A and B are shown apart, each in its own frame.
Chain A
Amino acid sequence: MKSYLTLLALAPIVACAACGSGFNDQQAQPSQQTSGPASLQILIGSSGQAETDAVKQAAAAWAKSSGNSATVTPAQDIGQQLGQAFAGGTPPDVFYVDASRFADYASVGALEPYGDKISNPADFYESLRTTFTFDGKFYCAPKDFSTLALVVNQDLWSKAGLSESDVPTTWDQLTAVSKKLKDSGVTPLAIGDTRDRIGAFMVEAGGWITTPDGKQATADSPQNAQALDYVRTLLKDKLAQYPKQLDAGWGGEAFGKAKAAMTVEGNWIKGALQADFPDVKYAVYEMPAGPKGKGTLSFTNCWGIAAKSKYKEQAISFVEAMTTVDQQMAFAKAFGVMPSRQSAKDAYAQEFPKDAAFLNGAAYAQGPVNAPKMDSVLADFDTGLQKLTTISSKSLLERVQKNTQSAIGG
């Protein structure tokens, strides 16, 4: 009786030796180029209907001219969907890769390093290429990018008796105008409580969390401490507030509700303000320079191609078509992103003169941390930043340093 039970219990396991090897078959087969017309699967983390439509249209045009077919699928949660697809061994051929997740994907060999096969790779902004370089290899073509800038509410600005010439270009000036704004009864600055906003001040002070190649931790530096100390002063004097304290989900919402006169956000704020707060009059300026000059953060996605794709050649040709100057300008007009190619800069500047501050940021922007396994370390850093007013910069940075070292080294 008992032996029957064991036998039966074991049966599915034995049966599933087959499903294990089913996986392995796919593994063993090196991702060979398949000839003939390809049917590309493209997964995008779309910002909205406008982006989905624009990418679908562009993909259809490419498919028609190249004789292939392309299916564009907008993802609900692209990180999770890609994770599952890689685990299952059947990832989409082409997909968006967020810069902050890039190193994780590249380090596990999920991405095809095709960056240099795209025509004129040097045309992509230097900082964007660095972002998508891992172990010395330029992996994937940057899709577009955003940078942070100082967004100013013009009504609140003039109400506090300030003029265009008062726009801060240094930290000292930022403190000075903030005091004036506070005296006029408004919160001067709404700044997101994460490394993705406060990090800009670290860059302006000449610091960052890792070295440019992402191999070494540099969090515990006097530059970073200086930046955090400065932000802490702003927060303590109520010259700056986190969005949650202003009852907003993010800086743009606090700004749109006129709860703050300034905010530090990226070019996505244009669309958000237009949609939710169309009456707010605002202008965008470059981030005020810190002790080590100008600095901002860039955010970007690249067109990742799966290392396991069967249609790599066609995928590269697809990415080529998506990253031409004309196509990037078409995307820019459709959903407000900045082209990643420098040769498209002038065309963009002409089309969107108000975005000059965002565009100029590309020259001195710092991309996200490009080392793998850093997600929980950076989440922990954010936790520290949320409590910035009550803890010392030094101990916070020492902690980040220790965690980064164990993540990168281990």
Chain B
Amino acid sequence: MFLRRGRGRLDATRETLAGWLFVAPVVLILGLFLLLPILMALWVSLTDWNGQGSPFQSGVPYVGTRNYTRLFTEDGLVREDFMTSVRNNIYYVAIVVPAQTVLALGLAVIVNSRMLKGRTFFRAAFFFPSVTSSVAISVVFLFMFANSGVVSQLLAVFGIDGPQWFSDSRGTLHLLLGGLGLVDPDNPPAALTGGGPFGLSWWEWLSGPSVAMWTIIMLVVWTTSGTFMLMFLAALQDIPVTLEEAAMLDGAGRRQRFRHVTLPLLRPTMFLVLTLGLISTWQVFDQIYVMSQGDPAKTTLTPAYLSYRMAFKNFDYGPGTAISFVLFAIIVVLTVVQRLIMRRRV
């Protein structure tokens, strides 16, 4: 009895050991290429490293959380740039994520319908932008939205004098408020310009995405909706036809079936799409780097691009990495919040 139990424990230990041995390569690789760089970057964000030699040598000044306080509490250009970039990105996320999700779902429903002829063609066509290089598409958009480009000429056909897309830094919410006659954008009310959180006035927070930012928003919605369409399509094809038929027998109309049968069954996919959308929109970089570099008037500056610019242009590696960790925190918090909301709404 004793002997057998002993051997059993030995076997279990051996099994555990063998198990760890088998996963060791993966754990090592993940640790070396994922965990370790993150920890190293965390260290850099706590220092004033200037990019010369290793950040782990003795001479590198340790500044504690100063790089983080500079982003939030100290009045200065660093905070102002960072908050401007956060503002831009909030508007960007708030428009891109719902727009691309709705568009992707709509496209998926269309190409899933059995009535549509040439479904394969449309699926490929809608998916195509997703597999094309983002840099190449950005350059194409640069041409399309140039002042004498296709878009402006098309608008001109309808007698609309289009904006100078990439040099127009006016906030569209400002324009909207101005258009409704609520405020005068050239002379905003003192109540709004007086003060506001984090060094930006309320007026600046309420600018809305600039005209230039809209071009990037359109570009991203167009390219990513194809990817998400594919996910929705896969989920739609998983929905058993019997359920729909049962709903039909119960007398549910087309809209009711979509609202009460299809949508609830798409919930996990919806969560996936929203999460992926949220993450990628907060991290937007390629399009900014290629198309605008933060111009005009910093209205397309995003935290990801600002982080790059600070670190590699200014040699302010500390604040640069600090921004990326703040960005990480923002994404995690938003994803958790989103998860809670989606779980509650049954």
Contacts and interface: CB of A to CB of B under 8 A. Distances in A.
A406 B316 contact: no
B342 to A, nearest CB: 31
Among B57, B76, B81, find the residue whose CB has the most chain A CB atoms closer than 10 A: B57
A104 B314 contact: yes
B183 interface: no
A27 B146 contact: no
Given A12-B28, A23-B53, A23-B54, A4 B16 contact: yes
Interface in A357-410: 372-373, 375-377, 379-380, 383, 386-387, 390, 403, 406-407
B16 A244 contact: no
A369 to B, nearest CB: 13
A221 B56 CA distance: 43
Interface string B271-300: 000000000000000000000001111100
Interface in A227-253: 242, 244-245, 247
A275 interface: no
A161 interface: no
A305 to B, nearest CB: 15
Interface in B294-316: 294-298, 309-316
Contact of A86 (B20, B51, B164, B166): B51
B315 A83 contact: yes
A89 interface: yes
B136 to A, nearest CB: 17
Interface string B164-180: 10110100000000000
Contacts of A67: none
B32 A16 contact: yes
B54 A89 contact: yes
A16 B146 CA distance: 50
Interface string B13-53: 00010001000100110011001100100000000001111
Given A12-B35, A247-B146, A373 B53 contact: no
A88 to B, nearest CB: 9
A49 to B, nearest CB: 22
Given A24-B57, A86-B51, A89-B54, A406 B77 contact: yes
A1 B36 contact: no
A390 B28 CA distance: 57
A347 interface: no
Contacts, number: 110
Contacts of B51: 83, 86-87, 108
B312 A373 contact: no
B39 to A, nearest CB: 7
Nearest to B167: A244
B178 to A, nearest CB: 14
A85 to B, nearest CB: 10
A245 B165 CA distance: 10
A373 B52 CA distance: 15
Interface string B304-339: 000001111111110000000000000000000000
A173 interface: no
B148 interface: yes
Given A9-B35, A244-B296, A383-B296, 13 more contacts: A8-B24, A8-B27, A11-B28, A15-B32, A24-B54, A83-B51, A83-B311, A86-B53, A108-B315, A247-B148, A247-B164, A386-B296, A407-B77
27 contacts: A8-B20, A8-B27, A9-B31, A9-B35, A11-B31, A12-B28, A12-B31, A23-B57, A27-B54, A80-B312, A86-B53, A89-B54, A109-B52, A110-B52, A242-B167, A373-B314, A376-B77, A376-B81, A376-B309, A376-B310, A376-B314, A383-B295, A383-B296, A386-B297, A387-B169, A406-B76, A406-B77
Interface of A: 1, 4, 8-9, 11-13, 15-16, 20, 23-24, 26-27, 79-80, 83-84, 86-87, 89, 104, 108-110, 242, 244-245, 247, 372-373, 375-377, 379-380, 383, 386-387, 390, 403, 406-407
| 8 nearest A-B residue pairs (beta carbon) | A23-B54, A244-B167, A247-B147, A12-B31, A108-B50, A20-B56, A12-B32, A403-B77
